[in-house]
Chains A and B, each alone.
Chain A
Amino acid sequence: MLEVNGLTKHFSSGILQKQHVKAVDGVSFRIKAGTTLGLVGESGCGKTTIGRLIMRLIEPTDGQVLFDDIDLLTLKKRELRKIRPRMQMIFQDPDSSLDPRMTIGTSIAEPLKVHGIVPKHERSQKIRELIKTVGLSPEHVNRYPYQLSGGQNQRVVLARILAMNPDIIIADEPTSSLDVSVQAQILNLMKDLQKKFNHTYLFITHDLDVVRIMADRIAVMYLGKLVEIGETHDVFGYAKHPYTQALLSAATRMKPGAERKKQTLLKGETPGPIDMPSGCRFHTRCPRKKNRCMIEEPELVEIKGGHHVACHFI
């Protein structure tokens, strides 16, 4: 359904000395219709950039994005506009995703108007329906975003998205600004909506606990590259890449139910994407690094049905 091949984005900065930031470097994955791929990584790894590239909010340097066998990256503006309603995006901060001067009803009506999806006389009926689908009540229609809580506003954002009846939803940290009890409401709603409308999700997050319950498959990203991808069960249960293992171990330390035991913490920090390490990008922090890792960049290799890892020593 959605296929990404060798997606690459290089940003350049500086006037005299051009520096290149390889934000996304040859990323490939596929998401089956009606399933969720979780894209996990720490800040600055390029996960948000991937979401934006797929939507063509920024133009890629190289690569292919196939959506029902149409290459989105070669589409002209007008063709792209036609296909956009079928792909929607949810952002981290619901409060800044909504126009503060528009009532909730107007906000939801806008995409219906712009894309001429629902005739004018049916619009208010449609809005009431959407409001109900996302668990808000009809009296919210005339309120403004500031009168609603963060969780309620995220529901409004979802209603706006549902208005377009999309196939693919790219969710970029949709709950990271919400409290846990509210986060649970939104995640459950997203799961219900997926079941009902057979949405395909690309779920971008840094939160391993969240992705674990949301995603069918998980891709782990480090400095612009995928280091591991596989079924959720395999990635969590049989993580092979040292970075994935470190992420999981750092996260389980925090987990309320987990044993309080000493685990090996990852030393140091993620290097800047400008002075990218040679060879394997993770070698500067890797507990298992050998000489080969500093010279040769590992490829993603399939180790078991659908479970790919990019490491020389697995």
Chain B
Amino acid sequence: MSSLEIIDLKTHFPTPDGHVRAVDTITLSIMENETFGVIGETGCGKTVLGLSVMRLLPPTATIAGKIRYAGRNLLEVSEAEMRRVRGEEIAMILQNPTTSLNPVIRVGEQIAEAIRLHQGLNKRDAKKKAVEMLDAVKIPSPAERANEYPHEFSGGMKQRVMIAMGLACDPALIIADEPTKGLDVTIKAQIVELIQKVTEKKAMLLITHDLGVARELCDRIALMYAGELVEYAQIKEIFENPLHPYTRGFLGSLPDQGLVPIPGISPSLIELPDGCRFHPRCKYTTDVCKQKHPEMIEVAEGHFVRCFHA
């Protein structure tokens, strides 16, 4: 059964220079217990995708399409209901824990706050639960650490706190946006292992640019380019049989895969190229790529590609 279903999602930002089409018609569904990765480079719209699901966008943004979760369209529920959904049903783990934690509130209290609000526990019980959560994310001596402030935690520890906070109300779906960004390799490996363990029985949308992390955590991954998905399949299939030229280019530009760069730069989300959005950088471009926008087609079971030549 699918946990989250995103149908024809369009998130645009009107600006004086034109419409920024950050998310431009994305359709995907995430099964229960599944981790679905969205991989993309800076400015492809992947963070906006996560924020759209949580409805955490500035009021200027225009959102169209459907986001189906637990039998309703999240784009239509009231703000009060949405506030309950956030944290209780869907939690978000953000990148950069240093700016996501309040520097003047004790770590334990920050976790307890969410628990008090959503689960109606009293102060003492919430605090106890917060300590349990810190223990669950393997923070040593959690009872003492709960009374410390964020600056007393290292980067890896802060990310553990963010994960504890996200899991505090036992949500069924987690949206994690670059949860390992800025961490050292040995710490990153620890956090990946922790995320793997705590999300085993949950659905997760993992947004990242790091294929290595995606490979560890995801069941399926999608490649996102210039506001749309260009390919998605089971993780193994993407690595063994990448079909979209962007996916191939992305894999080939990795240092241990040949370091062959993709020529050119990603287009601006205001002036997207006609036809296939990747055509100005693609070496297989033909006339049809310049004129028509390719649809997502299923080339093998569960393997979807947006390319005329796949």
Which residues from chain A sit less than 8 Å from chain B, CB to CB?
Answer: 42-43, 149-152, 179-185, 187-188, 206-210, 212-213, 246-247, 250-251, 253-257, 260, 265-266, 269-270
List, in ascending order, chain B residues with CB within 8 A of A188's CB.
259, 261
Q: In whole angstroms, how far apart are the Cα atoms of A183 and B253 in the complex?
A: 8
Known: A42-B185, A180-B209, A265-B190. A149 touches B255 (CB 8 A): no
Residue of A with least CB distance to B189: A250
Question: Which of B187, B210, B215, B250 makes the CB contact (< 8 A) with A269?
Answer: B187
Residue of A with least CB distance to B157: A269
Q: Mark B257-272, 1 if CB is under 8 A from A, else 0.
A: 1011110010000000
Interface centre among B188, B239, B257, B259 (most CB of A within 10 A): B259
List, in ascending order, chain A residues with CB within 8 A of B41's CB.
179-182
List, in ascending order, chain B residues with CB within 8 A of A151's CB.
265
Could you list 17 examples of A-B contacts with CB < 8 Å? A179-B209, A180-B209, A181-B41, A181-B253, A181-B261, A184-B261, A188-B261, A207-B255, A213-B256, A253-B212, A254-B188, A256-B239, A256-B251, A257-B239, A257-B256, A260-B215, A260-B216
List, in ascending order, chain A residues with CB within 8 A of B42's CB.
150, 179
Q: Are A184 and B216 in contact (CB under 8 A)?
A: no
List, in ascending order, chain B residues with CB within 8 A of A149's CB.
265
Residue of A with least CB distance to B263: A185
Q: Are B256 and A212 in contact (CB under 8 A)?
A: yes
List, in ascending order, chain A residues with CB within 8 A of B185's CB.
42, 206, 208, 247, 250-251, 254
Residue of A with least CB distance to B187: A269
Q: In whole angstroms, how far apart are the Cα atoms of A264 and B156 in the complex?
A: 18
Q: Mark B185-228, 1 if CB is under 8 A from A, else 0.
A: 11111101100000000000000011111011000000000000
List, in ascending order, chain A residues with CB within 8 A of B213's CB.
254
Known: A182-B261, A254-B216. A212 touches B186 (CB 8 A): no
Number of residue pairs spanning A and B whose beta carbons lie under 8 angstroms apart = 102
Question: Which of A210, A250, A253 makes the CB contact (< 8 A) with B255?
Answer: A210
**Any A CB within 8 A of the CB of B125:** no
**Any A CB within 8 A of the CB of B142:** no
Known: A179-B42, A254-B212, A257-B239. A184 touches B259 (CB 8 A): yes
Q: In whole angstroms, how far apart are the Cα atoms of A213 and B213 in the complex?
A: 21
Residue of A with least CB distance to B254: A180
Q: Are A265 and B186 in contact (CB under 8 A)?
A: yes
Q: In whole angstroms, how far apart are the Cα atoms of A247 and B187 in the complex?
A: 10
Question: Which of A181, A255, A266 makes the CB contact (< 8 A) with B250?
Answer: A181
**Any A CB within 8 A of the CB of B274:** no
Q: Name the prevailing secondary structure of the A interface residues.
A: helix
Q: In whole angstroms, how far apart are the Cα atoms of A43 and B212 in the complex?
A: 20
Q: Are A185 and B257 in contact (CB under 8 A)?
A: no
Q: In whole angstroms, how far apart are the Cα atoms of A113 and B251 in the complex?
A: 42
**Minimum Cβ distance to chain A for residue B210 (Å):** 7
List, in ascending order, chain B residues with CB within 8 A of A183's CB.
253, 255
Q: Are B188 and A209 in contact (CB under 8 A)?
A: no
List, in ascending order, chain B residues with CB within 8 A of A187's CB.
255, 259
Q: In whole angstroms, how far apart are the Cα atoms of A153 and B259 in the complex?
A: 20
Residue of A with least CB distance to B182: A43
List, in ascending order, chain A residues with CB within 8 A of B251's CB.
256
List, in ascending order, chain B residues with CB within 8 A of A247's CB.
185-186
Q: In whole angstroms, how far apart are the Cα atoms of A207 and B212 in the complex?
A: 13
Q: Are B189 and A265 in contact (CB under 8 A)?
A: yes
List, in ascending order, chain A residues with CB within 8 A of B212's CB.
253-256
